[in-house]
Chains A and B, each alone.
Chain A
Amino acid sequence: MRRALPGLALLLMAAGPPPPGASSCTGCHGPTPQIPSLAGRSATEMLTALDGFRTGKRPATVMDRIAKGFTEAELSTIAAWWEDRK
């Protein structure tokens, strides 16, 4: 049996609701080593990665296509929110 991870609800209880876009992340990012959870990761590191995806400087399969759908400010808010998850 897989471990039952906290769903969105439990993640949310820790602080405020997710900013626009952030709740979609957990469709892929979760309990696998291939696409790991974003909870508690450094916002600075995430932003560097997302910026690389957005500008095409960092190679990716899908994150380049996804990051282009957000402004820098939106990505910054999303990254900060994820950093605050425990």
Chain B
Amino acid sequence: MKRRTVLSAMVAAPFVARAQARPRVVVVGGGFGGATAARSLLLGNLEVVLIEARDVYTACPFSNAVIAGMREIEQQRFGYGAIVSDGVRVIRDTAVGVDADRRRLTLESGASLIYDRLILSPGIDMIWDAIPGYDATAADTMPHAWKGEAQTLLLRRQLQAMDNGGTVIMSIPANPYRCPPGPYERAGLIAWYLQRTKPKSKLLVLDAKDTFSKQKLFQAAWKRLYPNTLEWVGLSDGGKIARADPRAGAVETDFQTHRGDVVNIIPPQRAGHIASVAGVADRTGWCPVDPATFESRLVPKIHVIGDAAIMGAMPKSAFAANAQAKVCALAVLRMLNGQAPDDPRLINTCYSLIAPNRAISVSGVYRPLNGLLADIDGAGGTSRLDATDETSALEATYADAWFTTVTTEAFG
């Protein structure tokens, strides 16, 4: 009881001092989730602060097309100018500490900020020790190309430099990870690139699971389009890699060693570092949140959105991060106004290219149920297996339009 009183006094002091000021919501991370959340919060009479270390955000959706030489990296870059002119205070810094009792966020520069609500959208970090031999240094030789511009361009250059007749190896992790269908889109587009420019080459895909997103659609497309180029090996056939050897350009499974001229290892992942600093990540490395407000299950007044969060059936995608950001922003506004949050509905649609101008999609509609976001029965699902080329071309057009719209909503 006494302890609570002391704590309340500590919390109350800064709040009283700022009682006349507008509530301050601080958003950490300027990707699809954070940028959308910051802009959406401007609806309220709030001070909105966005903490982001970079001047330019390099978007992941469509980066597989950059890797396959179908698209240029410039099309992936987005700045924060519009967000600033909208009225968000963007601080170019990195969040390094959270004192949840005092609602204080500390930045790398040494500055600190008091928040009324904190929204973390930190994306993912690689778990470097998950695959023996695969650490941050190994990624300079065997790129993951799963976040950041440098990694994307490194894999693209390696593919371009490879001789005709070379072998490309991809390693795909078990669930959950950023963008469930992304590795399979990448496999198809790399196969397309090899078939077109280096037709004697092979792509070996080593997968730590037996089933994956849009599997039937991907496998049908691969069989039809890249039958002699792409080989997929699932978990039960020895697809899980146990070790990486960057010097030898080799990966080992329990059964054999594979040598590749280009090796792309997508390692297991967890929520971005600030999530564990803030205490919102659990033992899985991800952040459990309330499905209606995205408030952390572990620490009050901290919300987590996007890839870092886990809340049930919604996948880790840019579309989902954007949708969650808007629902979270509205919930935060309502809670700051003393209102109860809505019972929201969220939508996700993920497009994957199987070749240039050919795409497939998976969609879902979600609602809070028993503390999680659950799929609404009868809704969602994938493109049809018997879709015509015309339909796949239309889906590719929609994928392109989606990217324009979602990046405009997030970054202006």
Contact = CB atoms under 8 A, between A and B. Distances in A.
Q: Do A and B bind each other?
A: yes
Nearest to B410: A7
A62 B363 contact: yes
Contacts of A7: 36, 39-40, 42, 86, 409, 412
A24 B412 contact: no
Given A20-B344, A70-B365, A26 B405 contact: yes
A27 B406 contact: yes
Contacts of B406: 27-28, 30
A34 B394 CA distance: 9
Contact of B405 (A20, A30, A67, A70): A30
B161 interface: no
Given A8-B40, A27-B406, A20 B361 contact: no
Given A2-B404, A62-B398, A70-B379, 18 more contacts: A4-B85, A5-B412, A7-B86, A8-B36, A12-B43, A17-B334, A27-B347, A27-B349, A31-B405, A31-B408, A32-B405, A34-B397, A61-B391, A65-B363, A66-B347, A67-B379, A69-B345, A70-B365
B399 to A, nearest CB: 10
16 contacts: A5-B412, A8-B36, A8-B40, A8-B329, A9-B86, A21-B346, A26-B326, A27-B406, A30-B408, A30-B409, A61-B383, A62-B349, A65-B381, A66-B349, A68-B365, A70-B345
A54 to B, nearest CB: 9
Nearest to B333: A17
A73 B36 CA distance: 28
B391 A28 contact: no
State the main secondary structure of chain A at its contact with B.
loop
A8 B326 contact: yes
Given A31-B404, A62-B363, A68-B378, A5 B398 contact: no
Interface of B: 36, 39-43, 82, 85-86, 319, 322-323, 326-327, 329-330, 333-334, 342-347, 349, 361, 363-365, 376, 378-381, 383, 391, 394-395, 397-398, 400-402, 404-406, 408-409, 412
B412 A23 contact: no
A30 B404 contact: yes
Residue of A2, A7, A10, A20 contacting most chain B CB atoms (<10 Å): A7
A58 interface: no
B20 to A, nearest CB: 24
Contact of B401 (A4, A28, A70): A28
Smallest CB-CB A-B distances: 9 pairs:
A69-B365, A69-B379, A30-B405, A21-B345, A24-B347, A4-B412, A34-B401, A23-B326, A32-B401
A62 B327 CA distance: 21
Contacts of A27: 319, 322-323, 347, 349, 402, 405-406, 409
